[in-house]
Amino acid sequence: MVYKNTDYIGLMISNTSRYIIYLFISLIVWQGCSPDKSAPDISDIDINPNVVRFEKVLFASDTSNMGAEIQQILAEYPTFGEVYLYQIIGEPRTDEQVVINTRTFVTDTFIQDLYNESLARFDDFTAYEEALKESLKYFKYYFPEKTTPDIYTCITGFEVGSFTVGDPILGISLDFFLGPDYTDYPLTLFPNYIQESMQPAYLVSKSLSALITNYHGEGNGTRLLDFMIHNGIRLYIKSKLMPEAPEAIVHEFTEDQMGWLRANESQIWAYMLEEDILYSVDYRSFQKLVTPSPNVPGMPPEAPGRVGDWIGFRIVEAYMDRNPDMELRDLLTSPDPQKIMTGSRYKPRQ
């Protein structure tokens, strides 16, 4: 198998760099990226999700009067507050334990450092808020019956990244997006290949993954193909919710990885066919194809984990191109990976 080396990806680097600059400077959504002419017009869609900076509320608490502060927080933010205080930063069994756990959390020097690091990067959240709202407009366009969630930012001490609380809340733990300048991520929890996407530029993309997973679920198939198509559907929907974002951001790869995948699509597919693994149910043998990993056995070192997810996306994309009348809401509930595989007639160009 001959794979292509890709040392030239100037256009991709340019697009992604402009996207990152936008997230810090521009208040114009997706400025600097090539527009997707197939994206629908969402100018008339009106949504008004609340954006709650929960970490600012929490760390402004008077720790000498923590019980009263907690009652105030639960009164103002009952749903998120209960999940956050009783499930995320601890699992207290009594009200007294809640007070102790919360005071310990907000006064812990490591957690305070995380808060300060997050504040340094996200004190002004306007650009991210605008980008998230833009994507939620696309979400409302494609899924008008779904709830537009409110957005809560927080600090969880590396407990959970982006998550949903039912349908009405999208939570974002800012300490998962501190970027390469933050050097205290523990490698035992976050190896370097995981940290590659723990950057502000990926905040919107990862948050949308959580939103989509809330409705799409985790999947119940056992074959490699099942995982590929299930994950490919999530990625395809996400690409429609952020149609002008660089491909690397949508798929949560680096620019180099995205360039390598594009250049070697046919070789990756040929490898899967030659190894006869599409219908394998031996999860351990194909796990790195559908989960984050620094490498993929049998492929060159440039191949990132989750190459199977990207091929799954390409299959779903081909299927939707051949079925232009199919709506995203139908794809979201599509139960048959084999139907999508067959109907896509997927065959990457050599």
Q: What is the tens place of the pLDDT at every residue in 292-308? A: 999 999 999 999 999 99
State the DSSP code for 244: T
> Do residue 200 and residue 278 come from a single domain?
no
Could you give the percent of the chain with pLDDT greater than 90?
A: 86
pLDDT of residue 218: 83
Does the structure show a pLDDT above 70 at 191? yes
Lowest mean pLDDT, pick from 11-25, 86-100, 154-168: 11-25
> Do residue 53 and residue 139 come from a single domain?
yes
> Do residue 270 and residue 208 come from a single domain?
no
Q: Are strands 150-154 and 169-173 parallel, antiparallel or unpaired?
A: parallel
Distance CA 314, CA 321 (A): 10
350 domain residue, yes or no: no
333 domain residue, yes or no: yes
Average pLDDT estimate for 74-80:
98
273 domain residue, yes or no: yes
pLDDT averaged over every residue in the chain = 91
Write out the residue range of the structural domain in which residue 145 sits.
Answer: 32-214
pLDDT of residue 24: 44
> Do residue 41 and residue 71 come from a single domain?
yes
Question: What is the reported pTM?
Answer: 0.90
> Do residue 38 and residue 154 come from a single domain?
yes
> Do residue 164 and residue 240 come from a single domain?
no
Tell me the three state secondary structure of residue 161. Answer: coil
Distance CA 287, CA 306 (A): 9
72-79, long-range: CB < 8 A, 24+ apart:
77/52, 77/152, 79/165, 79/166, 79/168, 79/169
> Do residue 152 and residue 244 come from a single domain?
no
Number of domains in the chain: 2
55 touches 73 (CB < 8 A) = no
Domain boundary among 182, 214, 246: 214
> Do residue 262 and residue 189 come from a single domain?
no
> Do residue 102 and residue 179 come from a single domain?
yes
> Do residue 172 and residue 254 come from a single domain?
no
pLDDT of residue 184: 95
Does the structure show a pLDDT above 90 at 35? no
Domain boundary among 214, 246, 280: 214
Of 151, 141, 130, which is closest to residue 29 (Cα–Cα)? 130
Q: Which residues of 308-338 are buried (b: 16+ CB within 10 A; e: fewer)?
A: bbbbbbbbbbbbbeeeeeeebeebbebeebe
15 domain residue, yes or no: no
| pLDDT band at residue 11 under the 50/70/90 scheme | very low
234 domain residue, yes or no: yes
User: 10 Å Cβ neighbour count for 10?
Assistant: 9
Tell me the three state secondary structure of residue 59. Answer: helix
24 domain residue, yes or no: no
| pLDDT band at residue 38 under the 50/70/90 scheme | confident
> Do residue 53 and residue 188 come from a single domain?
yes
pLDDT of residue 169: 98
pLDDT of residue 164: 98
Q: Which residues of 261-273 are buried (b: 16+ CB within 10 A; e: fewer)?
A: bebbbebbbebbe
> Do residue 134 and residue 178 come from a single domain?
yes
Distance CA 45, CA 134 (A): 10
Domain boundary among 172, 187, 214: 214
Average pLDDT estimate for 213-219:
90
27 domain residue, yes or no: no
Does the structure show a pLDDT above 90 at 20? no
Q: How far lies 78's CA from each of 70, 155, 219, in Å?
A: 10, 17, 30
pLDDT of residue 220: 84
17 domain residue, yes or no: no
Does the structure show a pLDDT above 50 at 245? yes
Q: Which of 29-43, 80-94, 322-336 has the highest mean pLDDT?
A: 80-94
